[in-house]
Structure 1
Amino acid sequence: MSKVEFSPSLMTMDLDKFKEQITFLNDKVDSYHIDIMDGHYVPNITLSPWFIEELRKITDLPMSAHLMVTNPSLWVQQLVDMKCEWICMHAEVLDGLAFRLIDQIHDAGLKAGIVLNPETPIEMLFPYIELLDKITIMTIDPGFAGQRFIESTLDKIVALRELREEKGYNYVIEMDGSSNRKSFKRIDAAGPDIYIVGRSGLFGLDEDISKAFAIMAKDYEDMTGKTIK
């Protein structure tokens, strides 16, 4: 991936301004991040595959479904049927399921991703890492927006970049959690390919999405010396 990409986490957007915010962001960002929670793997219940169907009506950008669910096998086929471009599952619930579900996603011509919680080591991925299209590193505990940034998780991003270069793997590296002015410089030093931005980094900066995006872009440039798209 030649440049850093930005993917808004839509569970933190203002759903009263759904069409307005998505229409504006379509020309500004690279993809959309859709959190799907079952109320079991994490206590919250948020977006659903239905949300992706609604989003399709007003955007052509790729979508990435983040399955924070206890049994991903119950959800993957729905997302495959919707042609969700990225389907990302938590490594912590994949024992005995990983190869079958990754193959199911790939057989549909879609991309398979794995998500790691802050305390989960990258070694958990090694049995199937060469099959992955994306690895997402949680920099907060999953399930709640607005948590503190866990800086030690950035070491995993660095390790995954080094491993990709050494082994010739093709996955992209994504970070998820508290990506904002306070953390942009540290994240940039670790070097992920994709930033997920939510309430603290984008949607909570101003009620007007155009102003919020301008603030985010300035924050990123101020802290990294780089520009967004």
Structure 2
Amino acid sequence: MKPMFNPSLMCMDLLNIKEQIQVLNKRADFYHVDIMDGHFVKNITLSPDFVKAIHPICDIPLDCHLMVTTPDDFIEPLAKAGAGFICPHAETINSEAFRIINKIHDNGCKVGVVLNPATPVSYIKHYIHKLDKITVMSVDPGFSGQPFIPEMLDKIRELKQLKEENGYHYLIEVDGSCNKRTFKQLTEAGTEVFVVGSTGLFGLDSNLETAWDKMIADFNQEVNA
């Protein structure tokens, strides 16, 4: 499978959103939108209103990562705003996971689930077959630029094995410290979608086209080494 890249929009230059979206429309596979409530994680970044504002100029799916305590409150607003994927954390939905998953699908969106570093794959085993994407957090959630947690490679391998053995259709995504230092080991473990933020993309050059070219060169150089 061709690697897919999911730029984290909270790391972009928010003073030049339209210009940067136009650059990424031609290159990226998804847009990663972090929705935070100040409770599940301590900070607050983007919102359903942000999704609504940029949706008209986006040519690829908006992938909404819900770092919120009550994801049910965000499903309908995000679906109406134009979300393509809605991805709550498993830690926030397991008391009502099937209802939440069905609600996301019923609102016309694909369903992802996000696993914190300390959350095992077994936590989602009863509904894993219903998921369109599983995101492995390779850093603790809430802040960009954290160091990679190497123990997550075994979790990625486990998801890859389960997918192959059972014919599941979910995409395997990694969020956190996807960059030149980790591309090779993440790819070898089974990562299919890379969330790229400050270290992987936006910090490589002030010109986003140049930064993207550098990222792809880094990826190809490391993975093919």
Q: TM-score range by the shorter chain?
A: over 0.9
TM-score (structure 1 length as normaliser): 0.95
Alignment-derived partner of residue 172 in structure 1: 171
* Cα distance between partner residues in 2 of 1:217 and 1:3: 12
CA shift digits 1:95-119 (9 cap, x unpaired): 3221111001112232111000001
Alignment-derived partner of residue 217 in structure 2: 218
- Helix, strand or coil at the partner of 1:112: strand
8 Å contact from structure 2 (residues 55, 82) kept in 1? no
Report the residue type matching 1:199 in the other structure: S
* Cα distance between partner residues in 2 of 1:3 and 1:90: 26
Are positions 1:73 and 2:84 aligned together? Answer: no
Alignment-derived partner of residue 13 in structure 2: 14
Are positions 1:104 and 2:103 aligned together? Answer: yes
Report the residue type matching 2:2 in the other structure: K
* Cα distance between partner residues in 2 of 1:184 and 1:109: 32
Alignment-derived partner of residue 161 in structure 2: 162
Alignment-derived partner of residue 205 in structure 2: 206
Report the residue type matching 2:68 in the other structure: V
* Cα distance between partner residues in 2 of 1:39 and 1:225: 40
Moved more, 72-81 or 175-184: 72-81
Alignment-derived partner of residue 143 in structure 1: 142
Alignment-derived partner of residue 151 in structure 2: 152
Report the residue type matching 2:128 in the other structure: I
Kindly state the Cα deviation for residue 53 of structure 1 after the two structures are TM-superposed.
1.2
How many pairs align?
A: 225
Alignment-derived partner of residue 89 in structure 2: 90
Kindly state the Cα deviation for residue 165 of structure 1 after the two structures are TM-superposed.
1.1
Identity, % of aligned positions: 49
Report the residue type matching 1:94 in the other structure: I
* Cα distance between partner residues in 1 of 2:134 and 2:58: 24
Unpaired runs of 5+ in structure 1? Answer: none
8 Å contact from structure 2 (residues 52, 82) kept in 1? no
8 Å contact from structure 2 (residues 62, 82) kept in 1? no
Kindly state the Cα deviation for residue 196 of structure 1 after the two structures are TM-superposed.
0.5
Report the residue type matching 1:23 in the other structure: Q
Let me know the Cα RMSD of the aligned residues.
Answer: 1.1
TM-score (structure 2 length as normaliser): 0.97
Are positions 1:125 and 2:107 aligned together? Answer: no
CA shift digits 1:75-124 (9 cap, x unpaired): 11111223411000101111322111100111223211100000100000
* Cα distance between partner residues in 1 of 2:58 and 2:166: 36
Alignment-derived partner of residue 26 in structure 2: 27
Kindly state the Cα deviation for residue 135 of structure 1 after the two structures are TM-superposed.
0.4
Unpaired runs of 5+ in structure 2? Answer: none
